[in-house]
Amino acid sequence: MKEYNVAIVGALGAVGSEMRKALEERSLPIKKLKLLDIEQNVGTKLPFKGSDVEVELSCNEAFEGVDVAFFAVSDKVSRMLAPEAVKRGCLVIDNSSAWRMDENTPLVVPEVNPEALKEHHGIIANPNCSTIIAMVPLKPLHEKAGLKRVIASTYQAVSGAGIAGLDELRVQTGQVLGGEPIEPKAFAHQIAFNLIPHIDYFEDNAYTHEEMKMLREGRKILSLPDLKVACTCVRVPVFRSHSEAITIETERPITPDEAREILSSAPGVKLVDCPETNTYPMPVDTSDQDLIYVGRIRDDISSDGNGLTFWCCGDQIRKGAAVNAVQIAEKMVEMGLI
């Protein structure tokens, strides 16, 4: 079996650290792992498969001899370094927003549109975390009934804002309980014991950029350029795992029982739907694993047509970011594309 020289760019960040963990757990055959980060982190040693790997500087020359590089960095850094990596024969799987809507860059969830991988030109984009969590259950429902419209509300954990978001919730929780003053830094407002209906910047249509990602990325991934999507994204005081309430309108009728049957065998999905026993997806159950839990499946009683409503949860650092990227590389190997 061929083995690959692999790099993680942004290795010390929340997603980069999870990528290293995922590579250790999963099946991608690795000959050598290279960890890349900013200058102040160079020399740090991190464990990988029983050995310590020393962090090196993220720079153009670092990609010499690298077969696959996972990018967990800002848009600016990705735009600067990814083309340089590709020039050196490296496949880039990028977790930033830099390349997602580029017409020459596949935007891929392996359970949903693996065929798009064949069209890559050196860079493959990892979708936004909330988009990935939605797409995994939406694809099999679309195949059955044909999606016309999606209305989604997301309840996004603070880990979506990285280590700073996690630290802010921990600190503020103590400050609130201790009666101390709050000074928000990672978020626009206090996050402890609060909800913030604002993630990313506001666009001209009054939707946030995070909300518009669901529309734009969903259309591209599902190859549905006219799909109607409305989304509201909310930051919630949960450490890890995003939750989403999704209502769909379909071309053809689909009953809740049919949806349960489809989702019970859909790749990447775990059906958790038994209201009689108070069994449904929750963030505490979906953290630190790689499936999208789906439940609360029911008719949309506000719809005159073919409407269905469900609730789903998934770990946005793992399946919503790091693991999806690693799965892309695994699928590329499986398809003989690298």
Residue keyed to tokens 């802010």:
168
The whole-angstrom separation of Cα 122 and Cα 144 is 33
Residue 142 designated active-site: no
Task: Assign 251 to helix, strand or coil.
Answer: coil
Catalytic residue list contains 129: yes
Using only C-alpha atoms, the chain has a radius of gyration, in whole angstroms, of 20
Residue 278 main-chain phi, psi, to 5 deg = 55, 40
Catalytic residue among 233, 242, 312, 313: 242
Distances (CA, A) of 77 to 84, 308, 335: 11, 41, 29
In the DSSP assignment, the letter for residue 226 is T
Per annotation, catalytic residue among 129, 231, 233, 313: 129
Please state, in angstroms and rounded to a whole number, the distance separating the CA atoms of residues 176 and 243. 25
Closest CA to 219 of 149, 273, 266: 149
Instruction: Compute the distance between CA of residue 92 and CA of residue 67 in angstroms, rounded to an integer.
Output: 9
Q: What is the rounded distance in angstroms from the CA atom of residue 123 to the CA atom of residue 107? A: 10
Which has the closest alpha carbon to 191: 213, 161, 154? Answer: 161
Catalytic residue annotation: 129, 242
